[in-house]
Amino acid sequence: MKVYLLIADDGTRLFYSEAPERPDTAQLPTRAGFRGWLERKGRKVKTAWQHADRGFAGQLRRGWDWLARRTPPDEPMLVRLRTAADVEIHHPASLGVEEVRGEWTNYLASRKRRHLPRFGINVLIAPLTVVLAPLPGPNLVGYWFAYRAWRHLGALRGLRRAGRERIALSFHPIEVLDRPIGPRAESLTGLERQGLKLAGVADFLRRSRPRAGVATRSGTFPLAAIRPTD
């Protein structure tokens, strides 16, 4: 798993990882029997949801996407730490290995402080939303709090593995990362010229614009777009 330590144009240091490529569901093997039937049904439902643009289903999907855009942008990376065998940290060449290691340790600690209380809040709220069950349509509010509890749990499990040093770390200095970068295309040109194509970094940087921060010994990590129960 590749992780990049970026210096944003406001001086903030951010850890970023590219999302893995999604496999083509049509090429995935299907099991036989009842389990295979469930997998096929699940893929059809997922495909229908992703392509819902009109009607009530389209409104629900847009509402869900709107909520999802307000979750921490680094959360998927933390969830993937649950299964990562190793982490390659690509960092600015001007930073020494021990400094980068300290940044990573402080980052993991700050993320644990963020996800742990929010996991508890969502676990408490999710069961209370059953009172909305009699209302017409799916209980989107209930699904959301249950989903957020599950995602916080996934992030905490990833943080636990990383914090206990069950994931091998390696460090790789890259000179082009010494330059501060922003979400605009011209700011990312230098990365592309050096062969470092990070497809999702512009969106990540936009969503990471700090509204509030958590100060650590080696920097401030933004808590972007955070709500009390995100």
The per-residue pLDDT for 219 is: 47
Residue among 8, 17, 5 nearest 78 (CA)? 17
pLDDT tens digits, 22-43 = 655 555 566 667 666 666 666 6
Length of the chain: 230
Q: How far is CA 78 from the centre of its chain?
A: 6
Locate all alpha helices (DSSP H) within the chain, ordered by sequence: 33-50, 55-68, 75-80, 97-128, 140-163, 185-193, 201-207
> For residues 42 and 37, what is the distance between their CA atoms, to the nearest angstrom?
9
The per-residue pLDDT for 225 is: 35
SS3 172: strand
Task: Give Dmax (Cα) for the chain.
Answer: 59
The per-residue pLDDT for 69 is: 83
pLDDT tens digits, 87-139 = 999 999 999 999 999 999 999 999 999 999 999 999 999 888 877 666 555 66
Q: Is the dihedral of CA 100, 219, 153, 79 positive or negative?
A: negative
Global pTM reads 0.77
Average pLDDT over residues 131-152: 77
Burial-class residue 136 by CB neighbours within 10 Å (0-12, 13-18, 19+).
Answer: exposed
Query: Which own/partner pairs from 211-214 qualify as long-range (CB within 8 Å, at least 24 positions apart)?
Result: 213/12, 214/110, 214/113, 214/114
> For residues 76 and 34, what is the distance between their CA atoms, to the nearest angstrom?
30
Q: How many CB atoms lie within 10 A of CB 89?
A: 21
